[in-house]
Amino acid sequence: MNELNPRGTLLIAGGGGFIGGWMALEALKRGFASVRSVDVKPIKEWYQVHTDADNVVLDLRNPDDCQRAVHGVDYVINLAADMGGMGYIEAHRAKCMISVLINTNLLCAAKDAGIGRYFYASSACVYNVDKQRDADVTPLKEEDAYPAMPEDGYGWEKLFSERMCRHFYEDFGLQTRVARYHNVYGPHGTWDGGREKAPAAVCRKVAAAKLSGNHEIEIWGDGGQTRTFMYIDDCVFGTLMLTASDFTEPINIGSAELVTVNQLVDIVESIAGVKLRRNYILDAPKGVRGRSSDNTLIRKVFGWEPNISLEEGLEKTYRWIYDQIAVGRGLPKIANA
């Protein structure tokens, strides 16, 4: 199977979130017969609202709501989770783990409904933390998730849910696909309030400093921690490619462009045309010291890997966040026909 049948119906769980909003837009562009976006948030709080989609408010922690969500559906893209940046997931480990109910009940509903394909969005947080203690990190291969010692809370929930997908495939024949996302960012995402990730947080801080004239920036940690960051367009493309494929093992979908947090700030400062004095908060949540995606497998299987440069993606992200701050907007929302 090389592509999903556009005459089918696609369910996007977590459709009111950052990735879900872009996923729904791409599915509509590809001409799916129906795109059903489901989220627990009131629609007025969705990050993007697409009027051509079937937009439904349901709580997918509830088995009955999962049954309603998959009714008449051919494919499921499960992006739904309670999560955020490092500050959020370190402070809300129990809340992040409750997301296991979403995948559990949605898998059961998908099995009962005879769903054709089921995609689960996992995370690089599943990887063994002992392999991520050095800023000069060796890129993480898929097998590095075991022996298991993932990020506490959120990482354990993701790893357990991966195993559920595997066993639903082995025991019931449900065609599950699993991607391990590495730090997805882009416009129309969370950029304030505590759930934002590093690229959005840095863009917000730089934009606010430029607009206010207070040329300082607060950086969590010493700025030497390393990460890779994937632009949203690569995430959406890779997800749909994997979902349509016959590849059944968890696979990295992430950029291999490794940078320090200091280098991330450098890039955003260059885009903004400003230089800021840096204040390092050494006791702030920092996560692992280094994390990078090894893309050997995805290149081998698909002849592709995320390739939008960090500079290109941050340019678009910074401009959008700058505009939100400049006009005093809160939670972003757009509508598409």
7-53 pLDDT, tens per residue? 899 999 999 999 999 999 999 999 999 999 999 999 999 999 999 99
Give a yes or no: residue 203 inside a domain: no
Query: 52 lies in a domain?
Result: yes
Domain assignment present for 130: yes
Mean pLDDT lowest for which of 65-74, 80-89, 90-99, 248-257? 80-89
pLDDT of residue 261: 96
Return the active site residues. 154
What are the backbone angles phi and psi of residue 245, rounded to the nearest 5°? Answer: -85, 175
- Residue 220 is encoded by which pair of tokens? 């969590």
> And the tokens for 79?
């992006």
Q: Residue 86: pLDDT above 80?
A: no
Whether 111 maps to a domain, the answer reads yes
Tokens of 317: 């992200």
pLDDT tens for 147-160 read 999 999 999 999 99
Contact (Cβ atoms closer than 8 angstroms) between residue 332 and residue 188:
yes
Task: Say if residues 148 and 108 touch (Cβ distance below 8 Å).
Answer: no
Specify the amino acid at residue 83. Answer: M
3-state secondary structure of 224: coil
Round to whole Å and give the CA distance between 14 and 20: 6
- 156-182 per-residue burial string, b: 16 or more CB within 10 A, e: under 16: bbbbbbbebbbebbeeeebbbbbbbbb
Partnered with residue 34 across adjacent β-strands are: 9
How would residue 111 be classed by pLDDT, with cut points 50, 70 and 90? Answer: very high
Domain for residue 114, yes or no? yes
Structural domain boundaries, residue 36:
9-185+230-254+331-336
The whole model's pTM is what?
0.93
Number of domain units in the chain? 1
